[in-house]
Amino acid sequence: MTQRKINLAVLFGGRSGEHEVSLESARSVFNVLSPEKYNVIPIGITHEGLWLTGEGIHAFLSGESNATMEGFQRVTFLNEPDCHTLFTLDGETIKPLVDIDVVFPMLHGTFGEDGTLQGFFEMAGFAYVGAGVLGSAAGMDKALFKDVMRANHIPVVSSIIVSRKEIRNEMAQILDQIEALTAYPIFTKPANLGSSVGISKCKNRADLLEGIMEAARFDRRVLIEKGIDAREIEISVLGNEYPKASLPGEVIPCEEFYSYDAKYVDDDSELIIPAPLPFELQEELREVAVRAYKAIDCAGMARVDFLMDKKTGEFYLNEVNTIPGFTSISMYPKLWEATGLPYATLVDELIQLALDRKKERDETIYTYEG
């Protein structure tokens, strides 16, 4: 008997500053999904948060078609346990459309990578690709993540976290505090965002003020951290309880740092795989990457980013991206290809890991009889 094809829902777009990056990642995933293995159900999420499906929805959200929103079906899931049906919405009418076996969220940033969507999937009992609520939230929140790394004796750069309200009311004190902590350059970042959106490299107080205000546009909490003249080393991690690490790669950004444009717009940044590092150091970084991955209870996939001081050779763990970029020039799939795992096989393995994790979750008992 032939095995039934998997009904795979791929989510992309979303209510995030990384909406456009998500579209590019999803495009690459669609290109390698085997029609012999999967019935693919594309679900595009608009900037406003509407969930839409239908042929051409990706092209519509990408601005590549003349279609209108009326040409697509609004869809939703229910948060009832083990109701894995995708429903259509038509006014006040809700109708079943298709049962979903696995959800593949290609959503970067807010409302996709931060644990909110994962919480919904947990409540409804879906199999889904990637980290759970804890791993997603901890990986997304740069300030909390650094505290977890410090608790696990993994080095990170010095930083402070400030809220939007503190920025409004205490800007002078914030500027004094960070200047007392470290010399320039200083980086300012939204605490909960990725793809270098809202990040600024500040070389003086005027830059710092502007950078803080820019980061605060994207999140109510802003991370301000010491800047170092660093090499940027990245490692891809794959797996659930027994994760494995890829070869390390080095990013030579075409700009002062690995900005949004350097990652997704310009094709001039250089990716060196494997990174030109001594074998012993490569192995140490791979071991630390897996430790960090397990420390936040990550699952499925993550890209672990390191900074290596050019002067001292010391390394610092920068962040863990639980839904890393999957575009044609993204480091996560490139690192696995160099390690011997082709893109299409990588996607297949991620889907299987989602099914395995769902099976593991289903062994949990949610009632107690004393």
Choose the weakest-confidence range: 14-18, 20-24, 33-37, 338-342. 14-18
Contact 117, 132 (CB under 8 A): no
Q: How sure is the predictor about 198, in pLDDT bands with cuts at 50, 70 and 90?
A: confident
Residue 370 has pLDDT above 90, yes or no: no
Largest CA distance in the chain: 71
Q: Is residue 134 part of a domain?
A: no
Domain extent for 165: 159-226
In the numeric block, which tokens belong to residue 349?
């393995």
Q: Do residue 149 and residue 182 come from a single domain?
A: no
Q: Do residue 35 and residue 89 come from a single domain?
A: yes
Q: Is residue 365 part of a domain?
A: no
Q: Do residue 179 and residue 279 come from a single domain?
A: no
Of 176, 203, 226, the position where a domain reaches its end is 226
Portion of the chain with pLDDT greater than 90, in percent = 81
Q: What is the pLDDT of residue 30?
A: 96
| CA atoms of 285 and 279, how far apart (whole Å) | 10
Q: Do residue 46 and residue 97 come from a single domain?
A: yes
Q: For the segment 231-279, what is each residue's pLDDT rounded down to a tens digit?
A: 999 999 999 999 999 999 999 986 565 445 555 455 567 899 999 999 9
Of 195, 226, 257, the position where a domain reaches its end is 226
Q: Is residue 367 part of a domain?
A: no
Number of domains making up the chain: 3
Contact 257, 227 (CB under 8 A): no
- Looking up residue 65, the CATH number of its domain turns out to be 3.40.50.20
In the numeric block, which tokens belong to residue 134?
């804890």
Q: What is the pLDDT of residue 1?
A: 45
Residue owning tokens 């259509």: 88
Q: Is residue 370 part of a domain?
A: no
Q: For the segment 312-346, what is each residue's pLDDT rounded down to a tens digit?
A: 999 999 999 999 999 878 899 999 999 999 999 99
Estimate to the nearest angstrom the gap between the alpha carbon of 242 and the chain centroid: 20
User: What pTM was computed for the model?
Assistant: 0.90
Q: Do residue 164 and residue 123 come from a single domain?
A: no
Residue owning tokens 């397990």: 294
Q: Do residue 42 and residue 106 come from a single domain?
A: yes
Say whether 316 sits in a helix, a strand or coil.
strand
225 — phi, psi (to 5°)?
-140, 160
Residues 6+ apart with CB under 8 A from 119: 133
Q: Is residue 165 part of a domain?
A: yes
Q: Do residue 278 and residue 151 come from a single domain?
A: yes
Q: Do residue 116 and residue 238 come from a single domain?
A: no
Q: Do residue 17 and residue 145 come from a single domain?
A: no
| CA atoms of 302 and 304, how far apart (whole Å) | 6
Q: Do residue 111 and residue 21 come from a single domain?
A: yes
Helix axes 133-140, 142-151, angle to 10 degrees: 100
Q: How sure is the predictor about 214, in pLDDT bands with cuts at 50, 70 and 90?
A: very high
Q: Give the DSSP per-residue string, 221-265.
A: EEEEEE---EEEEEEEEEESSS-EE---EEEE-SSSS--HHHHHT
Average pLDDT, the chain: 92
- Looking up residue 329, the CATH number of its domain turns out to be 3.30.470.20
Q: How sure is the predictor about 299, in pLDDT bands with cuts at 50, 70 and 90?
A: very high
